Amino acid sequence: MRLLVTGATGFIGRTLVLRALADDAVEEIIAPIRSPDKLRAQLAREGATGMRKLRMIKAAAPAWNLRDLGSVDRVVHCAGVLFGRSRDEYFRVNVDGTLDLLGQLGDAPEVLVLSSQSAGGPTPEGHQAKKLNHPDRPISWYGESKLQMERAVRAAGHQRVRFLRAPMVLGPGDQATLPLFRMVRGKIWTKPGRALKHFSWVSSDDLADAIEVWFERGGGLDVAHVTSPGTITDAELMLTAGQVSGKKGRLLPVPQFLLKPVAFASKFIPAIGENVPSLTADRAREIWPNRWVLDADPFHQATGWRGQATLEDTLARTLAWFQREKLV
């Protein structure tokens, strides 16, 4: 099988490339990336073997300019902007970049596009979980761009394309959880707002398994929520990060209005913003709602697959990764 993975230098793309390198069913991995040196260095640190079947192509969204690819069997499109500086940046990469990529690949390969829970927005009031047939109400530019991407791909009539609406993804290599592990080394652990926030989540291993299952068993779904077992709260996330780090601290709820100035500062004061990409004013809007829980039953029913990961094991392995990288 010839597999094409975009975003291979990112958290999820790299997880998929590492698995594909170790998978005998994959003969060639094609990785269009902005920096082949970056991916080479990352894979070397992971101790990856089987590099001879990896073909790196220097390319970037929104104009991928992929040539002489030959036939490709499967595509997992992970490249995307998660923390952009402007609405335009999200739309250029996430919408135009996806349309351009699919246009160049044609309808021959089976394609799975990483969309996001943000495309649908938070769980609607009065419901335990957001279902796929609830109206989509994104509340960030990021979410709007992911929803627009799904709609534009369908409108363009592309065949054999699936959208995976992932919730928060956790696992080794996820830079977004670094601030969490750094915070639990101190005594005061701040959480936004007094009310508990409830989330679906998925470990990167469960996500990679689900992607494979979806390709294998199809299930007739063209869009799905995929989760690991259980719903977690923001407090549980912090307490578990503290527990696996062997640290104890005090949870301090911070009034949400105080977070807003920080979010704006991170956008407009570049020296802060460069270091705090996860708290741009746009993505900060996703902090306010208290429920981001997804209904993953349709995927379970269609494929028979269920996630296996536990939060404790996932965070322990994430911490081990940060320790190996000397980041904590």
Ligand X SMILES: NC(=O)c1ccc[n+]([C@@H]2O[C@H](COP(=O)([O-])OP(=O)(O)OC[C@H]3O[C@@H](n4cnc5c(N)ncnc54)[C@H](OP(=O)(O)O)[C@@H]3O)[C@@H](O)[C@H]2O)c1
- Site membership for ligand X, residue 79 (CB under 6 A): yes
Q: How many CA atoms lie within 13 A of 242 on its CB side?
A: 18
Q: Strands, E, within 78-222: which ranges?
A: 110-116, 161-166, 168-170, 188-192, 198-199, 201-203
Q: For ligand X, which is the closer residue by CB, 214 or 249?
A: 214
The pattern of x and - marking residues 152 through 171 that bind ligand X according to CB under 6 A reads: --------------x-xx--
Q: Which residue is nearest to ligand X (CB)?
A: 10
- Site membership for ligand X, residue 80 (CB under 6 A): yes
CA distance 132 to 81: 23
DSSP assignment letter at 123? P
Q: Shortest approach of ligand X to residue 302 CB, angstroms?
A: 20
- Site membership for ligand X, residue 84 (CB under 6 A): no
In three state form, how does the secondary structure of 193-220 look? CCCCCEECEEEHHHHHHHHHHHHHHCCC
Q: For ligand X, which is the closer residue by CB, 35 or 128?
A: 35
- Candidates 93, 184, 232, 244; binder of ligand X (CB under 6 A) is 93
Q: Shortest approach of ligand X to residue 146 CB, angstroms?
A: 6
- Site membership for ligand X, residue 90 (CB under 6 A): no
Q: Shortest approach of ligand X to residue 187 CB, angstroms?
A: 28
- Site membership for ligand X, residue 116 (CB under 6 A): yes
Token pair of 22 as six digits = 């170790």
User: What DSSP line would sit under 257-324, residue for residue?
Assistant: HHHHHHHHHHHH-HHHHTT-GGG-HHHHGGGS-SEE-B--HHHHHHH-------HHHHHHHHHHHHHH
**Dihedrals phi, psi of 29, to nearest 5 degrees:** -115, 125
Q: For ligand X, which is the closer residue by CB, 80 or 172?
A: 80
- Site membership for ligand X, residue 81 (CB under 6 A): yes
- Total residues at interface with ligand X (CB under 6 A): 22
CA distance 65 to 63: 6
Picking from 300, 190, 280, 303, the residue whose alpha carbon sits closest to that of residue 242 is 190
Q: For ligand X, which is the closer residue by CB, 249 or 315?
A: 315
The percent helix, strand, coil of the chain (3-state, each to 5) is 45, 20, 40
Show contacts with ligand X in window 7-36 (CB under 6 A).
7, 9-13, 34-35
Token pair of 128 as six digits = 């335990």
Q: Shortest approach of ligand X to residue 83 CB, angstroms?
A: 8
Token pair of 299 as six digits = 């995927």
Q: For ligand X, which is the closer residue by CB, 61 or 72?
A: 61
CA distance 174 to 176: 5
Q: Shortest approach of ligand X to residue 204 CB, angstroms?
A: 8
- Candidates 56, 95, 114, 281; binder of ligand X (CB under 6 A) is 114
Q: For ligand X, which is the closer residue by CB, 26 or 78?
A: 78
- Candidates 61, 75, 208, 210; binder of ligand X (CB under 6 A) is 61
- Site membership for ligand X, residue 45 (CB under 6 A): no
Q: For ligand X, which is the closer residue by CB, 184 or 294?
A: 294
**Residues near ligand X, by CB under 6 A:** 7, 9-13, 34-35, 38, 60-61, 78-82, 93, 114, 116, 166, 168-169
